[in-house]
A and B are shown apart, each in its own frame.
Chain A
Amino acid sequence: MAGPQYLAEPARRIKSVRLGGITALFHRPSARTHLVGSPVPEILDALQETAMDANALLTFLQDRYEVADADPASLAARLAELEAAGLVRVA
C-alpha cells in the first residue's frame, strides 16, 4: 500500500551552499539554516518535481545514486526530520 506522498520545498525557497562534505541550506520562509549531509540534498533534489512515497523514493535513490545498503527505516527518519524542518511536506 502506498504511503504518504512527499514533495520538497521548491528550490527557489532554499539557498544551498556546499561547504566541503556538508551542505548548508538557508530556508527562506523560516530564515533557518540547516547543515545537512548525504542523502538529504539527494532527497530534496529527488522530490523537487515529483511527489513520491518512501518506497518509491528509496527505489529512486538506489537507482540514481547506486546506494547499496539503503535502509527504509533510516529514510523514514530523514523524511520525518525534513518534514519537521519544513523542507519537505506531504503532498
Chain B
Amino acid sequence: MRHSVSLKIGPVGFRIGSDWRVPIAALKDLYRDYPAPDDGIADFNVRLFAARFWRRFIRPSVMIGGDYIIPDAAPLPLEMGLLAAEMGMNLQMALGQRRYLLLHASAVVRDGKALLMSGVSGAGKSTLAALLMARGWRLMGDEFALIDPMSGLVYGFPRLISLKNAAIGLMRSTLPQGRFGPLMKATPKGNIRHLVPDAQAIAAMETPARPALILFPTFGHAPAERAVDEAEAFVRLTQASTNFVGLGQAGFDTLTRLVREVPARAIDYPDTESALRLVEDLWSATA
C-alpha cells in the first residue's frame, strides 16, 4: 500500500498499510516511542483502503481490512482514520490471537503484580486504568490482557488508551502534560480521543506480571463491593474472551487456573474518586 507503518505493542507486531497518508502520519506520531516488530516481521496486517478508487478523494471513507476481517463492516470517514487503524488492530487481536488467552480487560501493575479489570463497554475500565497510570501504576493496557497458557502470567497490550466522552476532559485535566491524539467527534462510540501511555508503560511493555486481583467494575451505582466466586469469575471471563473457545483445552486450563489462583471482586462506583478509593483499598487488602 502507498503508506505504511510497522510497530510492536506488547508482544505483538503489526504492519498497518493505508491508501491515505493522514492515518499513518498520526500512528507514526503517537506510536513514535514504540519499537518495530521483531526482525521486522509483523504478526498481523491491517489495511485501510478505499472501497472504490474515487473514494480515496471524494468523501473519502476508510474500509478496514487485514488478515482477519468482519464482512460488511461499515466504512468510517477519513477524519476517523486513526480510529479505523485502532479498530483494525483490535480486530486482528480479537479474531486472530492464538498465542495467549485474550481477555477483554484493562490491566495495571504495581510492585510486579497485575490488577485486571473486566467489564462491559462503559464500565470504566479504560478510564480507571488511565487514572491508575496517572497515580504511578504501570499501565499494561486498557483493552486487552493476554494470559500466557504456559506460565499463567499476564502480558500487556498497551495500545493508545481510548478515552470516550466525559473521560476525555477528565484525563486532560488529570494529565495536562499527557500526549493526546486528535479529538474525533460523533464516532459510533461517541467522542473519542486517544491518550499515549506513559514512558513507564512503553519501556516495560514486554515485561509480564503475575495476576494478583481481578475486578469487575460497574459505573453508576452507590459504592459497593462483593466477592466474586470462582465459578462466576470463570463465566464472566469466558464472556470477556474472544478466543476462549478457539484455544480449546489450553483456554480452559488457562482460565480455570486464573480464577482458582486469583481473587475476584465486583465493585460498583458512582464516580472515579470512589472507584480509585475502592481499588486502592482492595489492592491493599488482597494483592
* 9 chain-A/chain-B pairs, Cβ below 8 angstroms: A15-B249, A15-B252, A17-B260, A19-B234, A24-B256, A26-B253, A31-B245, A31-B249, A35-B234
**Which chain B positions have C-beta within 8 A of A28?**
249
Nearest-neighbor residue (CB-CB) of A32 within chain B:
B245
**Which chain B positions have C-beta within 8 A of A56?**
none
State the 3 A-B residue pairs at the shortest beta-carbon distance, nearest first: A22-B231, A19-B230, A26-B252
Distance of A73 Cα from B80 Cα, bound (Å): 59
Is B238 on the interface with A (CB-CB < 8 A)?
Answer: yes
**Which chain B positions have C-beta within 8 A of A31?**
245, 248-249
Nearest-neighbour CB distance to chain A for B227, whole angstroms, equals 11
Q: Are A19 and B248 in contact (CB under 8 A)?
A: no
**Which chain A positions have C-beta within 8 A of B249?**
15, 26, 28, 31
Nearest-neighbor residue (CB-CB) of A33 within chain B:
B252
Distance of A33 Cα from B260 Cα, bound (Å): 17
Q: A19-B230, A22-B230, A31-B249 provided; 6 other pairs, C-beta below 8 A?
A: A17-B260, A24-B231, A24-B252, A31-B245, A35-B234, A35-B235
Q: Is the interface of B mostly helix, strand, loop or mixed?
A: helix
**Which chain A positions have C-beta within 8 A of B253?**
15, 26
Is B146 on the interface with A (CB-CB < 8 A)?
Answer: no
Is B259 on the interface with A (CB-CB < 8 A)?
Answer: yes
Q: Is the interface of A mostly helix, strand, loop or mixed?
A: strand
Size range of the chain B interface in the assembly: 10 to 19
Q: Are A24 and B234 in contact (CB under 8 A)?
A: yes
Nearest-neighbour CB distance to chain B for A9, whole angstroms, equals 15
Among B234, B248, B252, B260, which residue has the most Cβ atoms of chain A within 10 A? B252
User: Which residues on B are within 8 Å of A, measured CB to CB?
Assistant: 229-231, 234-235, 238, 245, 248-249, 252-253, 256, 259-260
Nearest-neighbour CB distance to chain B for A33, whole angstroms, equals 6
Q: Are A20 and B230 in contact (CB under 8 A)?
A: yes
Is A3 on the interface with B (CB-CB < 8 A)?
Answer: no
Nearest-neighbour CB distance to chain B for A49, whole angstroms, equals 24
* Among B229, B230, B238, B259, contact of A33 (Cβ-Cβ < 8 Å): B238
Nearest-neighbor residue (CB-CB) of A31 within chain B:
B248
Distance of A64 Cα from B117 Cα, bound (Å): 43
Q: Which of A19-41 contact B (CB under 8 A)?
A: 19-22, 24, 26, 28, 31, 33, 35
**Which chain A positions have C-beta within 8 A of B229?**
19-21
Distance of A10 Cα from B229 Cα, bound (Å): 29
Distance of A71 Cα from B238 Cα, bound (Å): 33
Distance of A24 Cα from B231 Cα, bound (Å): 8
Among A15, A31, A33, which residue has the most Cβ atoms of chain B within 10 A? A33
**Which chain B positions have C-beta within 8 A of A22?**
230-231
Nearest-neighbour CB distance to chain B for A30, whole angstroms, equals 10
Nearest-neighbour CB distance to chain A for B201, whole angstroms, equals 33
The 8 A CB mask of A43-55 against B (1 = contact, 0 = none) is 0000000000000
Distance of A33 Cα from B218 Cα, bound (Å): 27
Nearest-neighbor residue (CB-CB) of B245 within chain A:
A31
Q: Are A35 and B245 in contact (CB under 8 A)?
A: no
**Which chain A positions have C-beta within 8 A of B248?**
31
Q: Are A20 and B245 in contact (CB under 8 A)?
A: no
Nearest-neighbour CB distance to chain B for A78, whole angstroms, equals 19
Q: Are B231 and A21 in contact (CB under 8 A)?
A: yes
Nearest-neighbor residue (CB-CB) of B257 within chain A:
A17
Distance of A68 Cα from B252 Cα, bound (Å): 35
**Which chain A positions have C-beta within 8 A of B252?**
15, 17, 24, 26, 33
